[in-house]
Each structure stands twice: as C-alpha cells, then as structure tokens.
Structure 1
Amino acid sequence: MNETEQRRATQLLQLARNGDAESLETLLASYIGYLKVLSHSQLDPRVRGRLSASDLVQESLLEAHRDFTKFAGTTTAEFTGWLRKILVNNAARAVETHLLAAKRDYRREYSLDLLRQAADESHARLNSMTAVHRRGPASEAEHQEDLTVLSNAIEKLSTEYREVIVLRHVEGLTFADIAIRMNRSAGASRMLWMRAIEKLREAMSNENHE
C-alpha cells in the first residue's frame, strides 16, 4: 500500500470530521471492497441486470460523501455501520423500484428491517474471517484494516471463487444450499470452496505486501 493507504482509518475519520476533504475521499475509497462484498448478498439477482454491485456501491459512496456532516459517530465501527445502512437503504430502493412496483408479494420478503439484519449478519461473518488470520487481539484501527484487506482480496478473486466465498462466508449458506445456487453437486461446491480459500489466502498476502 502507498503511504496514504497505510494511514489509520481512525486518523482519516478524525481528519474528515475536522473538514479535511481529501481524508474523507481516501476514507470512503478504502471501503469500496467491503461494500462490494456486502452488495453481492444484498442485491437481489433479479435486480442485477438493471443495477450492478458496482453501481450500488458508487451510489452509496456518493450519498455518504454528500451526507457526511450527518454522521454523528466518532469511531470507525460506527462509520462502518453508517455506510452499511446507506448501502442497505439503496438496495431496498432498488428492489422497490424494480420488483415491488410490479409484484407486491415481494414487499414482506424485502422489508428494510430484514435487509438490515442480513447486512449486519454478513458483516459479523466477515469479522469472523478476519479473526482467523490474526493471532492476537487487534485495535479498532487494525481490525478495520484487516476487514479492508479481506474485502479487497475477495473482490480480486475470479467470479466463481468470489461467489462461493460470498455464499459460504457472507451469506452463511451450507454446501447443499451453495450447490443449488451454483448448479453443482455439494461435493463439487466444497472442492470449489477449498480452492477459493487457497486463492483468497494468496490474494490477502498480495494485499498486505502492496
């Protein structure tokens, strides 16, 4: 990482709160990978033909930049949660626009509360993955850096590897359920996951040394 990218998220957040526009842009950019990983599970497959994960993330980051003065927290954990809520709200609006207007039966399935709960659960699973790669306790800033490295590494995987990682570790699906989603046998899904995990380790190592 370059010098700017190595600055602690807490320092960037404090500088941004003090009005430093460059720090805010750097801080928001560091969350692109994280928000993309979450968006894969938030964005309904029936909507993806009209709105990509990248579009959803870009829209959310622009909104966060515009409304940053409304952020009332002081920690990176609170900031991460605030960004997550913005992402969920935009995902819900996408469903409202492209699905609910035509089929009202989807409204209960895609309630805002359920989407927020799903996003929080996905975040918790990502946190669990970062803990596996750290031997000792981490500070808040170190924890956020781990989350950023992990998310960026997942986004750099091939489509199949990224999908199986997201289904298993972000959505929390069993291999039987993954097999159905990916049109494979459960055994083939497990083998694909094992290869994906190995590639993820390599990608994380590369992220740490860039």
Structure 2
Amino acid sequence: MWPDSDQTQELLRGAQQGDSAAVGQLLDRHREALRQMVRLRLDRKLAQRVDASDVVQDVLLEASRRLTRYLDDPKMPFHLWLRHLAKDHMIDAHRKHRVAERRSVDREQPMHRLGTGDQSSLDLAAQLRDQELTPAAATIRRELQERFLAALDELDEDDREIMLMRHIEQLSNSEVAQALDLSQPAAGMRYVRALRRLRTVLGGS
C-alpha cells in the first residue's frame, strides 16, 4: 500500500538538499496511502462528518512544517512517521467531533470499528479485488471478502489494528513493531494471536 521505499529515499535526499519540488512529490505520493489508512480507521458515524481527505491534508501540512526536524533525526522510516502524525490527527478528530456532536455520534463506537457496508469496507474490498477474475470467481471472491470484513469487525481493537497493518498496509513485522513501540518478538506474537482469533471467527461464521 505504501509507496516504493527506494524512490522515497531519493526524494528524501532531494528534500534534505532543499529541493522544494522533491518535498512536494514526497508528500503527494503518500497522499493516497494515508487516505486509505485514515478511511479504514474512522468509525462509520464520524466518517459521515469528517472527510478522510481533509484529515490527510492536515497531516501533510504538519509533515511539511516538521520535515526539516524529521530529516535532521529520522528515528523511523518516513511512511511510519507519517502514520504517527495521522494517528494523532485521527485521535484529535474523534475527540473534537465526539464533543461537538455528542447527540449524533455514538460515544461507545470504537475508533477502529469497521462495517461491512460502509465506504471503508468498500475500500478494503477494492484492494483485495483481482481484475482478472471471471464473473463466477469474482462472486466467490466477493463472498469471501464479505466474510473477512465481518470477521474483522468481530475482533477487538488491537487485533483489528495489527491485521490492517499486516494485510492491508502490508507492513513488515519489524515495521509493525516500530510503529507500535513493541519488540519484534512481541509484535509477531500479537499478530499470531490476532490471526488465530480471526480464524476462529471465520470458522464459526
């Protein structure tokens, strides 16, 4: 899901040398991945009031302001740094709109809750779609996708998050560990547990 790291590194070198065009390309090429990440994590009711593209625009503006500081001391890969900024903005968006729209936004709705019928789920299904499938095979794939989405919705927040990170964002175990501030063995164990729980849910559906 995230852009090619080699080209990202080339653009980062350009940005470090003061190339404003490289900065623009660097941020713009991460826009769509950020948008998908945000849309998959906005709860359904809040997503009716908060546009993921607006959140992403705010993230990219902050990234632009803080890029020099990041380049001086890059403690993590660029896409993980952007994810970190995006997570903070999503938390702020949920806090702001849950207070402002308390009557119309379900206060008990988990932040990462997915739904099989919402736009986030459609985005997820689109990523899993194979354009070369025959109509019959596409129908089977769609049914499997719907089962997967429904099962994902049954997992707790930590399990859903790591499944999204590994299977949708396609982050490696080391990247997940860094993003979640875990050791690699701990991240691996969390993923294995989440996978077992997902299989249990799928087996019972």
Return the TM-score normalized by structure 1.
Answer: 0.48
TM-score, normalised via structure 2 length: 0.50
Greater relative contact order, per chain length (Cα 8 Å cut-off, separation 6+): 1
